Amino acid sequence: MTDQAHSPKGASSAERWLHCPGSSVLLAQLKLPETDEPDYRGLGTGAHEAAAKCLLEGIDSWEIVGERFHGFELGEPGKCAEGKERIDFNAVQMYVNDARQFMTNSATVYIERRIGEDPEKRPHPDFYGTVDFAAYDTNETIVEDFKYGEGIVVEPEWNEQMLYYAYGILISRPSVRSDRVVRLRICQPRAFHVDGPIREWEITAGEIIHWGETVLIPAMNAAEIDNDFDAGSWCRFCPAKLFCPLLSGIFGAAAKADPAALPNFSNKRIGLEYQQRDAVKFYMQALEAEAYRRLMTGAEVQGIKLVNKKSNRVWKEGAPAIFAERFGQDAYTPAEIKTPAEMERVSPDAKKLVAEFAYHPNTGFTVALADDRRQAVKIEKVEDTFAHMIPKDDADAAS
């Protein structure tokens, strides 16, 4: 392959350029990479390499503990002798076990395999990339994405990255029935989700091909010439955050805004501006990172300086024994039961008991975007609560 490793309109950044076509033009002008997502570096890349080795060679992750992938050692979670984080071999094995069940004799299996390999058959010149795992079997297609990160939980429903991969696999086949079942699976062992670390969503091949032809390819064409910008969650990994005219404008408006005026905003304006809050946060995070980078190189930046982080005191070597001898049990913290999540990892029996005896307490409310999976809570107005207690004639008179 002569293509660069990641397409400028690849699957991993599809959410961004599908929603913000102007970002592709901006990145091209600035000669920036398609994403600054950490998962493309270090531990995430190493975890994918280790998993691919296991799947391709038919081995388990524990058999290659101690080997290095992308410069990181595979082993128990924590740091190795040189201070670098290890790739968690248990997380790798969870993904390997899940993918392996679909590697049947009747399936065509894709392991870290390129889609859009033949430039002559691509629906767009930039349509290519590498799928983590897929299996094209008799009646269904499995597309699985291994997410090693633990900070951002990923959902499979209408996931643009996975739909991109699935579309690439389906159009590479000679003929595909529109009612073929396609199962999009996310394996994210290190992030908590109420549905567990492995999540699946079903869709038909016909729906994916329709999405590819009416949404994906038109968006790829638009991203070449459209200068429109739109801010949202997709700004998180955009390398052009600090150069984006829209984000700069939103940040400037937020910096100059008067909070005292908020009660006078209409509900529509509150909703529209609330949806931009993440974009402002992403801009701030990028600004903080750039300021830190410059100060760490010894540059003098007006109005800011480099200082030591706050830290808690720690014991010197030998201190625990001295305090235990002098103060006995008063030197120790009383034992506490593990959390439900920690107990689930003790044994299958413990996991069953957790399901019976643990629950999610109501800790109050928070604001979420309209497309959030959680069910909306309807707050009843005081007048509605007591409406049944007011005689109809009195209610009519009051109105």
Can you give the pTM of this predicted structure? 0.74
**The pLDDT value given to residue 179:** 94
Classify residue 157 as exposed, middle or buried by CB count within 10 Å of its CB (0-12, 13-18, 19+).
middle
Most distant pair of Cα atoms in the chain: their distance = 81
Q: Tell me which H or E stretch contains 274.
A: helix 267-274
Query: How far is 331 from 322, CA to CA, in rounded Å?
Result: 10
The strand pairing partners of 109, in sequence order, are 135
Question: Is the torsion defined by CA of 338, 344, 346, 347 positive or negative?
Answer: positive
* pLDDT < 50 positions in the chain: 1-3, 39-40, 399
**The pLDDT value given to residue 379:** 83
User: What type of residue sits at position 83?
Assistant: G
**The pLDDT value given to residue 236:** 86
**The pLDDT value given to residue 39:** 46
Query: How far is 130 from 111, CA to CA, in rounded Å?
Result: 9
Summarised one tens digit per residue, pLDDT across range 123-170 is 999 999 999 999 999 889 999 999 998 888 999 999 999 999 999 999
**The pLDDT value given to residue 159:** 95
Q: Look-up: residue for tokens 């957790």?
A: 354
Q: Tell me which H or E stretch contains 181.
A: strand 181-187
